Amino acid sequence: MDKNTLDSVSARVAKAKAQRKSLLLTGNDVTLVAVTKNHSVDVFDDVVRLGLTDVAENRVQEAKIKQELLGQKRDEPSLAKLRWHLIGHLQTNKARLAVKLFQIIESVDSIRLMELLDSEAKRIGKVQEILLQINIAEEAQKTGFSIAEYREAVAKINDFANLKVRGLMLIAPATEDTDRICSVFQKGYEEFVRLQKDYPVDILSMGMTDDFEIAVTEGSNEVRIGRAFFGDRDYSIKF
Ligand X SMILES: *Cc1c(COP(=O)(O)O)cnc(C)c1O
List the one residue out of 222, 208, 216 whose CA is nearest residue 83.
222
208 binds ligand X (CB under 6 A): yes
DSSP state of 174: S
List the one residue out of 130, 147, 139 whose CA is nearest residue 188.
147
- Burial class, 25, CB count within 10 angstroms (exposed 0-12 / middle 13-18 / buried 19+): middle
66 binds ligand X (CB under 6 A): no
CB of 163 to ligand X, least distance (A): 20
> How many Å from the N-terminal Cα to the C-terminal Cα in the chain?
21
30 binds ligand X (CB under 6 A): no
| Contact string 118-157 vs ligand X (x = CB under 6 A) | ----------------------------------------
List the one residue out of 148, 81, 93 whose CA is nearest residue 117.
93
224 binds ligand X (CB under 6 A): yes
Taking the CA atoms of residue 62, residue 113, residue 175 and residue 221 in that order, the dihedral angle to the nearest 10 degrees is -80
Size of the site for ligand X (CB under 6 A): 14
CB closest to ligand X, residue no? 226
| Contact string 75-114 vs ligand X (x = CB under 6 A) | ------------xx--------------------------
Report the residue from 3, 73, 112, 227 that binds ligand X according to the rule CB under 6 A. 227
What does the binding site for ligand X look like in residue numbers (CB under 6 A)? Answer: 35, 37, 58, 87-88, 171, 208-210, 224-228
